[in-house]
Chains A and B, each alone.
Chain A
Amino acid sequence: MADFFLQALGQVGSPVVLALITIGVLFGIIGGCIPGFTVTMAILVVFPFTFAMDPVSGVSLMVGVFVGGYSGGLVSGIMLGIPGTPSSITTVYDGYPMAQKGEPGRALGIGVAASFIGTLISVAVLVFFGPLIASYSMKFRPWEITSLIVFALTLVAGLSNGAMLKGLLAAVLGLLITTVGYDRNSNLRFDFDLPVLGSGFEILPVMIGIFAFSQLMGNLEKLRDDKSDIKEVNTDVSIPYRQILVDMSRQKINTLRSSLIGSLVGALPGTGGTVANFISYDQAKKMSRHPERFGTGTPDGIVASEASNSAVAGGAFVPTMALGIPGDLPMAIMMGVLILHGITPGPLMFEQNPVLVGAIYASLLIGAVVMVLSQLLLVRWFAKISLIPQQVLVPVVLMLCAVGAFALNNNLFDVWVLFIFGVLGYLLWKAEVPLTPLILGVVLGDNMERQLFRALELDGSWLTFLTRPLSALFLALAVVSLIFSLYQNRKIRLHTLETKGGDA
């Protein structure tokens, strides 16, 4: 593997790819620091530009966006008090008060340093656990893979706050979308006599439509509600480097713990940066000698949040690369991009595309270095950019989504697919149907049907899914995740009733 890594480093270290990583990181930071834009949206906007690139260049650019995006949320969180991405919500708790006390540079510096270390630790986790899990998962047969996909989908559906049924509906709807077009025996399914549907829906326009439209239309609703909430921000920031070194030297354990939490949470399906930053902030507070200082502008809070959300970047690659199952929404899009470049994420990726695997590691590392340099040198510009209004952002992003959908196959039908699924995604979002399970269903649907078919071809009995220990374990975990989710739903409902009762 070391040979392949050096080979990959040689490719990633070429001036063109380095420039692409830098562009990716800068764009990711910009995307992350604009409230309501999110890492996923930044990835969606950049992906059409990778069509004409070779896989290593395309993936390096995307990884750059990934690394930059997860660290970008801290800028608007600290300067405006509005988290740029959901994964930097807890950064606001201490970053904004510190900035309000006249130390925005210190808050940003601590956040950037924690993000950098978090990314590095998560790459170490990826390098160690990725091949380990992949080599173990090579033993999985169709029964285990089918059950694992069922488990991943139920886990993600169950994590939809208080909306388990809707989460399940979304996941299965995602599976249905993949059944359109020719099946393995060249029988046409649900084509409605439209020849263009013969090859089914391209997953990227479907994913972009569902995610981007709901997100952008949601931003428009906030635009309507927040018209009076425009803040004046002083973007004249300087970073006190020495102070940050002192601060970070006092945060070794917190940084390590938060980075490991971020890596672990990132590796779990359906969780991602939002869950990671809450868990590690909570843990940092519980472990602190001065929990009362949290929320008032303490470095501990910023470190916990930023180290963990940046560590998600490396952790999220573990299940995607090792099992072919994306951990969260940005990774689902990333997986779509890899498939587009002819690479099938999964255990075989380590054997069939070792250079690309090495390129992902190298891009993460180089991206982390570029991220820290860019943030420290250009932070005042990022703070200015975070003020770009939604009225400019929404139409531009919609247009870029259309360009991406078209450029996929030089086909306008894909733009209509984008629009139709965009409207569907918006309606489902309005109906509080979680969209992450839907997108995972779309990504995993084909593989699930293929594996189910193979399993039953090898052994016609459905009981085999329960008699093979690992397959039975995954199915049992799926049931447990649903029971746990039912329990959580009940708790949330009771809490809501109590709150309403208290208000009345």
Chain B
Amino acid sequence: MNDASRQARSPSDRARQVETRAKAMGHIVLNVILAILFIFLFLRAGSLPSSVWEPLGSGTFPRMVLAALVLFNGLIIATETRHFIAMPALPAKALSDWCYQHRLAFGVLGLFALFVLAVPIVGFRWASLPFLVTCQYLLGARHLRGILIAIAVALVMSFGIEALFRDVFTISLPRGLWN
């Protein structure tokens, strides 16, 4: 047991400490990943051409930006490491709990990715209709009335929007492989 967990006087204190440590860990992981990406891009930008006739080569501005980004990543990692060390260890199920808490967001993002994949194949109308119905179902339209509203909304927003763009704005949304 470290100092911080000894100082935690109540369950809410303990929960706050866990939250702080979890956030700090999230920040560290994100910034380490970003820093690696930025260092890679920094090195890649070094091979971009430059001219003796010009004050800045193609890679100069990106390298300045990337150097600043790596610096900020480093400072954030240093700050968050202090928070991370000061707090007690995370429970074993912290990551799976976090994923479970964000299941709705991940579910919607997954459905959106499927929708975008389906658009070139089945067209906008037939990709957006199931996307809208499934998404509303996922987010809570579980009873008959809710499902009927979800279907009505989906019909209007898929077929209606496609018709509006085609006939009023003369912008053709994807029609799929079979049209």
Q: Which residues of A does B touch, CB under 8 Å?
A: 49, 51-52, 165-166, 168-169, 172-173, 175-176, 179, 183, 185, 187, 189-190, 213, 216-217, 220-221, 223-224, 389-392, 394-396, 398-400, 402-403, 406-407, 410, 412, 415-416, 419, 422-423, 426-428, 430-432, 449, 452-453, 456-457, 460, 500, 503-504
Interchain CA distance A412-B113 in the complex, whole Å: 12
Shortest Cβ gap from A206 to chain B (Å):
16
Interchain CA distance A187-B108 in the complex, whole Å: 38
**10 residue pairs, one from A and one from B, having the closest CB atoms:** A395-B135, A456-B55, A391-B139, A52-B169, A187-B58, A169-B72, A217-B105, A179-B62, A391-B140, A449-B61
Interfacial chain A residues near B104, Cβ < 8 Å: 220-221, 223-224
Number of interface residues of B (CB under 8 A): 68
Chain B: interface secondary structure?
helix
Chain A: interface secondary structure?
helix
Interfacial chain B residues near A460, Cβ < 8 Å: 55
**Proximity bits, B27-47, A CB within 8 Å = 1, else 0:** 100100000001001001100
Whether the Cβ atoms of B65 and A172 lie closer than 8 Å is: yes
Shortest Cβ gap from A401 to chain B (Å):
9
Closest to B68 in A: A172
Interfacial chain A residues near B66, Cβ < 8 Å: 176
Shortest Cβ gap from B153 to chain A (Å):
6
Shortest Cβ gap from A1 to chain B (Å):
33
The contact sample of 20 A-B pairs, CB cut-off 8 A, is: A52-B171, A175-B65, A179-B65, A189-B48, A220-B139, A223-B140, A389-B140, A392-B153, A394-B135, A395-B132, A396-B132, A398-B135, A406-B119, A407-B169, A410-B171, A419-B109, A422-B109, A426-B105, A432-B23, A500-B16
Interfacial chain A residues near B136, Cβ < 8 Å: 391-392, 395
Interchain CA distance A422-B109 in the complex, whole Å: 9
Shortest Cβ gap from B59 to chain A (Å):
7
Interchain CA distance A265-B116 in the complex, whole Å: 40
Interchain CA distance A403-B165 in the complex, whole Å: 9
Knowing A165-B79, A169-B76, A412-B119 are in contact, say whether A398-B108 is a contact too (CB < 8 A): yes
